[in-house]
Amino acid sequence: MESSGFKKIEQLANNFIKFNEINGVQRLYEKLQKILSEMNSHDLEFLSYQKLIIKLKTFIIQLFEEDDYFDLIKNNFEVIYTIPDYDLWEKVKILLMNIYDFNKRNELKNKFKQILIDCRRPITINQYPEDDFPRNVSDWIKDFVSNFGPDKIDVVKKHEYLLNGKFIKILKIEDRERVRGLLDFYEKLVLSSNEREGMENSVPMDIDGQFFILNEGEIENLNNYSKIINNIKVSDLTTINKETSILKISNNKERSSELDQLQKTLANYQPNSLEYKAIQQEIERLKKSNNQK
């Protein structure tokens, strides 16, 4: 039986996660680690605290080391499904982007693939009677490989698999979503970082004055988001000098102020959002312009 004290802590943890309070999750994780270290493993709430700590660590896994990622997959993979909208690939991508050698990135991707192949953690919630039915992460990865081969996954084959796969089609909705998420994650790992589709970094491009981003093999047109930049400029220039035209920046001081404002605004967006990329592109343009002065 969980105490009211633990339930309040659990609610606090869930609120931190819900509102993406990274610092709050980290502080609570550290405090609960200390509490757990002082508890006896036979205490009634020991397992409850332990599970909550694992959940908190999973949410902020990007703050930990490579081995912590591996431990999460090997020993607690199913925990990722207890966190709404959790995207393991986005966490792994942060780890990969800290490696500048693309060949070493591929080596790390291969390690993750092997960890998945060896992972015996359950993935489905419901029970299925078929004797040869995939029971864990490893079984599903092997089913993927048997259907797609070990390399890049064909889009058409993936679509057909998700609709009519021998085991997929008998899954209940919640289990199908879990397996699909695993397949999406595995699909990213089989792509080489040396290839356009597998490159983790977004690459900004200026083609004849038009802004584009190459992002994971897809070219995104950012010109529809230029209004965001213009609104930021208007706000910033009005603060600097109400009499200054909003269509012109007259000197480097104003450019510097505009750059500061853009960098502050950038922090309000997720790195993988189009708004973030549009603002980042404008920051790079201003920096280049200032260096030429």
In the chain, domain spans: 1-59, 64-201, 203-292
pLDDT band per the 50, 70, 90 thresholds, residue 264: confident
User: Stretch 110-119: mean pLDDT, rounded?
Assistant: 97
pLDDT band per the 50, 70, 90 thresholds, residue 33: very high
Average pLDDT, the chain: 84
User: Stretch 268-283: mean pLDDT, rounded?
Assistant: 69
pLDDT score recorded for residue 205: 67
Statement: residue 103 has pLDDT above 80: yes
pLDDT band per the 50, 70, 90 thresholds, residue 216: low
Statement: residue 96 has pLDDT above 70: yes
Statement: residue 16 has pLDDT above 70: yes
Statement: residue 178 has pLDDT above 80: yes
Statement: residue 253 has pLDDT above 70: no
Residue-wise DSSP of the chain: ---HHHHHHHHHHHHHHHTT-HHHHHHHHHHHHHHHHTS-TTSTTHHHHHHHHHHHHHHTGGGS-HHHHHHHHHHHGGGGGGSTT--HHHHHHHHHHT---HHHHHHHHHHHHHHHHH---B--SS----TT---BHHHHHHHHHHHH-SSPPPHHHHHHHHHH-TTGGGS-HHHHHHHHHHHHHHHHHHS-TTSTTT--S-EEEEETTEEEEEETTEEEE-GGGHHHHHHHHHHHHHHH-TTS-TT---SHHHHHHHHHHHHHHHTTS-TTSHHHHHHHHHHHHHHHHHHH-
pLDDT band per the 50, 70, 90 thresholds, residue 244: very low
User: Stretch 212-217: mean pLDDT, rounded?
Assistant: 66
The pTM of the whole model exceeds 0.85: no
pLDDT digits (tens, 9 = 90+) for 179-206: 999 999 999 999 999 988 888 877 676 7
pLDDT score recorded for residue 44: 86
Statement: residue 230 has pLDDT above 60: no
pLDDT digits (tens, 9 = 90+) for 123-174: 999 999 888 999 999 999 999 999 999 999 999 999 999 999 999 999 999 9
